[in-house]
Structures are given as structure tokens and as C-alpha cells.
Structure 1
Amino acid sequence: MAARRPVAVERERFDWQGYALAFEQYGPAKGPAVLLMNGLLLDSLINRPLARRMAADGFRVILLDLLGHGASDRPIHATMNRIDFYGDQAIACLDHLGIDQAVVGGVSLGAIATLHATAKYPERVRAQILEMPVMERSTIFAALLLVPLVLSTQYLRPLVRGFTGLVRRLPRPGNEVIAGGMNAASNRPEEIAAVLHGILVGPVVPPYPERKRMTQPALVIGHKGDWLHNLQDAHALARQLPDARFIEARSILELRLKPDRLYPAIRDFLLSLDAAPRQTKIGEL
């Protein structure tokens, strides 16, 4: 896939619990709303290519940078960096924009934050897009991966600071997915520690009985060969949710780098929720 040229994107901000949260919007203001959230330590760049495709199909897409991520505030304590609080932030963004109901979704951390938003605010979530959910089978590996990272940011802070500072100074490529990965590797050690500590302290996913009560249509996306995003977890979630469909990606990056096979299923899912929105040409956005 040819690298995209860097695009100037205007971020907006709103207040949540005394913190500023950043978001971006794509597509027609009157289109059906879709709110997408980032993965762990990533930012909205990870979802920009997907947002543009959705916008071209007539959807109003909001990309939210969760607290501690991207252009949002980054507190250096773990108190507010809980996954269930991330679900609250999604609904707060809808409140700020005056949107009563939206399709809510995200990748990895964003997927499980979506589950929390749906469990707590079911009337606000029209449907769910759950890419690479991290659930019961994945949590042991997640702990094995994240705990050493937390310890490194505490006890090897000078080394971590030197590495992240170096990455922060490197020029960003035109490919937004790669640039987003570099941004993740640029986070300062105290910011990384606050996010990782927070998500380890709070609940990972809503309990099984709550998931069984989620009647919203859901699209679950999983892939093989990834212990952190276990394919069995994705299959299990698709079975647990009363109205879910499942699609399997060929790799962790297929939807980001080669979306032509997967995106039509996402588009069909969105269009099946309501009457098809007006088709909008990219030049009109």
C-alpha cells in the first residue's frame, strides 16, 4: 500500500473530570455517528484510514484519544486510567457533541472500553465494533507482558526515557499506522507507567452475565497467532453477545495496511443497522 502524505487534522477538545480529552471528526455532520477508540498507548492515527473509508460511505466518524493517550491529557498517576473509565469517556464525548446514540468501537483497549460503555450506558450504544478484544484467555499473557513494562518504567527509567526521547525526535513517515506506532514508543516513562498501572488495577472486561445482556448488534474481529489478542477470546465474545457476527483477519495489521478484504464486511454491518446513509465522495468531506 502506498504511504499517505501527512494530512493536517484539526483536533477538538472537551473537559472530562477536569482533564482535556482530544478527538477528531470525519465525514458529514448529519451522518450516522461512529465513535472509535485507540489501542493501548496508541493514538487516533491507528484509526484514521478506517475513519476515512467510513466517512466516504456517509458516516460521521469520531476518533477519541483516551485519557493518557495521543493529544489528550496525560496524568502521571494511575487513578483515572481505568478501562471502565475509558468507557465513560466515550459517552462523555457523545454528550459533548450532542449525539444521543452512536456505533461505538475500537481496537484492543478500545474494544474492551467499548464493552464497558455498552454495559453501563446501553441506551447510548447503537452497535459495537470490537476489534481484537482482550478477555479472559488473554489476561494472563497481558499481565506477563505489562507488569515487566511497568517495572521497567519505574526502575529503568533513565534507559526508557533515553529510548522514548530518541523515538520522539525521529521524523514521522507518511503512513499513519507506522507513525502511530512511533508515537506510542515516544510516550514518556511516567506516562506509560500511569496508563499500564491504571488498566491493571481496574476491571478488564465486564463480567460474563453483563456481556450476555448486550443486545446491541456487534461485529467482532479477531486473528490467529497473537497471545495478547487471543482468537479464542474473539470467538467466545461473538458467541456470548446475543446479536454478533464474527470476521477473521489474516493478521494483526490486515485491517490497517490491507483493508480491501475486511472493510466491505464492516461497511455492510454499518449499513445494515439503518437505512443506508447518503454516499459521500472524498472530495466533499
Structure 2
Amino acid sequence: MGQFFVETDGGRDRLEYTEYGTGDAWVVLLPGLLIPRRMHDNLARTLASAGAHVVTLDFLGHGRSDQPDDPMAYSVTQFAEQVVALLDHLGAAQAIIGGTSLGANVSLEVAVIAPDRVKGLLVEMPVLDNALEVAIVSFAPMLLAARIFPIGISAMRFITSRVPRGIVPWWVGIGLDTVEHRPGALAAYVHGLFFGRVAPPAAERRRIQAPALVVGHPRDPLHPASDAEMLASELPNATFEKATSMLEWRRSPERLDLLATKFVLDCWRPTRRPRRAAN
């Protein structure tokens, strides 16, 4: 585990990350909305065992990183800038940037603001045009609860923080970590994302040249497969893969892990120079 600091208008904030593996074949994995970085532990270990140097990051407001109460501290663009700051901190000239849900959107934003730093994109269930209404309906109550009924959020945090993570199933522990937020920070986080840029617009997405593997889920109202398919059609060098279910990469990850590993290795495989013709 490691940490680094970013300077913002509100001060200096600490972010935490975990490294797996070694070498220069960098991969950065980014979590979903409010979910801690350890959601990608298994995939990170799989990619590292294949030779990649993988880093999982807690954005500001996530997991063990700082959680300021300032809404201006949270946006997809600022999360993307944090990824670039992480690459600078690690001394990584380029990396494959990947993520789930919010992490997928941030990956796209990194490819827009720092295209020369992106070796490839590993994008799972992006939240784009077809998910807007469901996202608002899903997360507006969270913002209202944090603003109007903060004692309820504090009570939930008090209860979940006292559950030992070692005695519950792994995904239950991640769920407990996800809801363990102070009401002020939670309200600021959701407010910042609601009123900021959610993802690069289509015109900018079409200019992303990095190779991409885009994974979509069927029957997922918040992350419709139509968004993932649309994104794959927009990106000039993208491949679309449809998961068998919303939970395939969580419960039976072998197939998608294999696809992701092949994609990562292909991105980092040295380009062969054409042989000079014999005289």
C-alpha cells in the first residue's frame, strides 16, 4: 500500500493505493461509485500473476483516501486528474487505465485530458446517455438523506464500522465499506458528481485512439449494455464484450479475467518492426 497527496483549492488531500506485481507494464484499476479500491483485488492479482504491474486507487472520498466535505472536490474530471497525479507519483509514463461504472467514466476522462499517458482502456459498464434518468433516481435520495437526515447516515456508519471485515464474506465487507461515509462528505460527494461533468461527450469519445476493451452487462438498468455498445462503436479501436449477467465478473470471473489479461498483454506486447527485404 502507498499514499500520495494532491493539492486542491480546499487544501492538501491524501489518496491511498495498492500495488500488485512489478515492472513497466502498468495497469491502473478504478472503483465504482463510493466503492473501495479492494473491489478489484482479485482482478489485480490475476493481471499481476500474468506479468502486469497493477495499481488500485481510492479516489478522493473513497475507501481509505481523505473524504473532504467540499462539493468542489468531487467530479469525474478531478478524479481523472488524480489518476494522472498517481502516474506521476509512480513514475509511470503510460498505463492501461481501467475501471467499473464511475471508474469506467473516469478512465475515459483520463484518455481525454492526458491521451499520451494511456496505453489502453479496460472499461466495464460505463454510465452514459442511456443511464442518466436511472442514476438521478438512484442517487438523489442518498443526497437528500445526507443533507436532511444526517443522523441516519451517522448511525449506519457507526454500525457498519464495528463489523469485523474478517468474519463476513468478501463482497459483504466491500458493501459495508461502501456505506461507511460521514454524512457531510457523502452529501458533498454526490452533490459534486451530480452537478459536474459525468463523462466526456460523444464528440470527445470518438477522438480517443487508445485500444479499448468494453464490457457491458445485460438487464442492468443503471449500467445498460446499450451504453457499453454505443461506447464501443464510438471508440475507433474498441472491442465490445457482453457479460452473461451483471454478476459474471464477480461470481465466475474466469472468462472475463482471461479476456482482460489477453487485452493487457496485447497492449504491452512490443511492436515488431517489419523485416528488411533481402537484396
Report matched runs for 1:47-126 at 5 Å. 47-126=40-119
Q: Does 1:14 align with 2:13?
A: no
Q: What does residue 275 of structure 2 align with? A: none
TM-score by length of 1: 0.90
Q: Are the aligned partners of 1:45 and 1:177 in contact in 2 as well (CA < 8 Å)? A: no
For residue 219 of structure 2, the aligned residue among 222, 225, 242 is 225
Q: Does 1:34 align with 2:27?
A: yes
Q: Distance in 1 between matches of 2:21 and 2:236?
A: 30
SS across alignment from 1:228: coil
> Percent identity at matched positions?
35
Report matched runs for 1:133-144 at 5 Å. 133-144=126-137
Q: What does residue 130 of structure 1 align with? A: 123
Q: What does residue 193 of structure 1 align with? A: 187
Q: Distance in 2 between matches of 1:223 and 1:193?
A: 29
Q: Are the aligned partners of 1:164 and 1:188 in contact in 2 as well (CA < 8 Å)? A: yes
Report matched runs for 1:165-244 at 5 Å. 165-172=158-165, 173=167, 175-244=169-238
Compute the displacement of 1:178 (Å).
2.7
Amino acid at match of 2:118: V
Q: Does 1:268 align with 2:258?
A: no
Q: Distance in 1 between matches of 2:56 and 2:45?
A: 11
Q: Distance in 2 between matches of 1:112 and 1:175?
A: 28
Range that drifts further, 252-261 or 52-61: 252-261
Compute the displacement of 1:258 (Å).
1.4
Q: Distance in 2 between matches of 1:100 and 1:176?
A: 33
Compute the displacement of 1:181 (Å).
1.4
Amino acid at match of 1:45: R
Compute the displacement of 1:175 (Å).
4.2
Q: Are the aligned partners of 2:124 and 2:214 in contact in 1 as well (CA < 8 Å)? A: yes
Compute the displacement of 1:174 (Å).
5.9
Range that drifts further, 203-212 or 154-163: 154-163
Change (3 A) 1:102 1:186: same
For residues 219-274 of structure 1, give each alpha carbon's deviation from its aligned partner in whole angstroms, at most 9, with x where no partner exists.
11110111111110011001000000011112333212210121111111112113
Range that drifts further, 14-23 or 173-182: 173-182
Change (3 A) 1:162 1:174: closer
Amino acid at match of 2:26: A
Q: Are the aligned partners of 1:48 and 1:176 in contact in 2 as well (CA < 8 Å)? A: no
Q: What does residue 3 of structure 1 align with? A: none
**Structure 1: which 5+ residue stretches go unaligned?**
1-10, 277-285
Q: Distance in 1 between matches of 2:225 and 2:79?
A: 23
Compute the displacement of 1:70 (Å).
0.8
Amino acid at match of 2:99: G
**Structure 2: which 5+ residue stretches go unaligned?**
271-279
Change (3 A) 1:59 1:175: farther
Q: Are the aligned partners of 2:153 and 2:183 in contact in 1 as well (CA < 8 Å)? A: yes
Higher relative contact order (CA 8 A, sep 6+): 1
Q: Distance in 1 between matches of 2:94 and 2:52?
A: 13
TM-score by length of 2: 0.92
Q: Are the aligned partners of 2:73 and 2:192 in contact in 1 as well (CA < 8 Å)? A: yes
Q: Are the aligned partners of 2:94 and 2:116 in contact in 1 as well (CA < 8 Å)? A: yes
Q: Distance in 2 between matches of 1:151 and 1:160?
A: 11
